[in-house]
Amino acid sequence: MPTSSHPSRRHQHGDHRHGVISGWIVRPYDLFVGLVLRGTYRRIAESLTAGIAPGGRVLDIGTGPGHLVEAIARRRPDLTVTGVDPSADMLRQADRRLTGLPNAHTLQAAAEDLPSASDSIDVVVSTLSSHHWADPAAALAEQSRVLTPGGRLWLFDLTSHLAADIADQIEAAGLVRSDEDAGLSGFVARRLRLLAAQKPLSAA
């Protein structure tokens, strides 16, 4: 059970060995990310939510302390926004941040084993998380599974940390690459890369 009053569920996932951030470092990490990336999360939330129909569902993979979930949930109260992370300590921090946002939730789970029904999520987003995934190919296949037909994937990570074959892995998961703009600029845009893709409306 979560230690905070915010509703949170825990999903027992398989043996996926992630680079999990936990313990005393969680709070300093939260403070650092909030200071350095607050504007980035805001711009991502603005661009991402512009194309989501009312009542849509968003899944944030590797949500950490929940900054992006908060930004999206505040901007679009009509959306259901769920942050997923394998670290219980990170999710406790996220739960505190999301208190008072009834449309924001957290789940403890690995990117390779998501507790969401197939074809149930309108947008899957991930920021600074993919380089922690134990099995990127399995994670992308799982994210493709939960996306609705026509649903979108937005994957952000440091250019220097992205796997060389990540674009091929996205396509192998059954997703079609697309050209989308997250509204990032300056130093952040030079360091952070967006890989956008969409799930086909029907099987090929």
Contact between 157 and 186 under an 8 Å Cβ cutoff? The reply is: no
How wide is the angle at C-alpha 38 spanned by C-alphas 156 and 150, nearest 5°?
40
**What pLDDT does 7 receive?**
42
Q: How far apart are CA 103 and CA 193, in angstroms?
A: 28
pLDDT value at position 18?
A: 52
What does the pLDDT read at residue 13? 40
Q: What is the pLDDT along the chain (204 residues), one digit of tens a residue?
A: 233 334 444 444 443 445 666 666 667 666 767 677 888 889 999 999 998 999 999 999 999 899 999 999 999 999 999 999 999 998 999 999 999 999 999 999 999 999 999 999 999 999 988 988 989 999 999 999 999 999 999 999 888 888 889 999 999 999 999 988 777 777 677 788 899 999 999 755
| C-alpha–C-alpha distance, residues 144 and 156, integer Å | 16
Residue with tokens 């493709």: 144
Phi, psi of 168 (to 5 degrees): -65, -40
Q: Does domain 38-198 have CATH number 3.40.50.2300?
A: no
Cβ atoms of 188 and 182 within 8 Å: the answer is no
Q: What is the value of pTM for the model shown?
A: 0.84
pLDDT computed for residue 77 by the predictor = 98
* pLDDT value of position 20: 66
* Chain-centre distance for alpha carbon 53: 18
Model pLDDT, residue 190: 76
pLDDT, residue 123, reads: 98
Q: Is the dihedral of CA 25, 129, 37, 49 positive or negative?
A: negative
Residue 81: what pLDDT? 98
